Amino acid sequence: MNIREAKSVDLETVLILFADTIKETCADDYNKEQIEAWTASIRDKVKWLNRIKEHYFLVAEINDRTAGFASLENYNHIDLMYVHPDYQGKGVARSLLQRLLMKAQGNSVTAHVSITAQPFFESNGFKVVKENRFELRNVEIANFEMQLVLD
Note the pLDDT of residue 150.
94
Note the pLDDT of residue 1.
96
The rounded distance, in Å, linking the Cα atoms of 22 and 19 is 5
- Give the confidence band of 31 by pLDDT, cuts at 50, 70, 90: very high
* Domain hosting residue 83, numbered range: 2-149
Does the pLDDT at position 136 exceed 90? no
Does the pLDDT at position 41 exceed 90? yes
Q: Answer whether 69's CB lies under 8 Å from 6's CB.
A: yes
- Give the confidence band of 117 by pLDDT, cuts at 50, 70, 90: very high
Percent of the chain predicted with pLDDT > 70: 100
Per-residue pLDDT tens digits for 52-93: 999 999 999 999 999 999 999 999 999 999 999 999 999 999
The rounded distance, in Å, linking the Cα atoms of 131 and 138 is 19
Mean pLDDT over 14-35 rounds to 97
Mean pLDDT value across the chain:
96
Mean pLDDT over 34-40 rounds to 96
The rounded distance, in Å, linking the Cα atoms of 117 and 138 is 23
CATH number at residue 28: 3.40.630.30
The rounded distance, in Å, linking the Cα atoms of 109 and 119 is 17
Does the pLDDT at position 13 exceed 90? yes
Note the pLDDT of residue 151.
78
Does the pLDDT at position 6 exceed 90? yes
Q: Answer whether 3's CB lies under 8 Å from 95's CB.
A: yes
Domain count across the chain: 1
- Give the confidence band of 115 by pLDDT, cuts at 50, 70, 90: very high
**Helix H or strand E segment including 77:** strand 77-83
Q: SS3 for 63?
A: coil
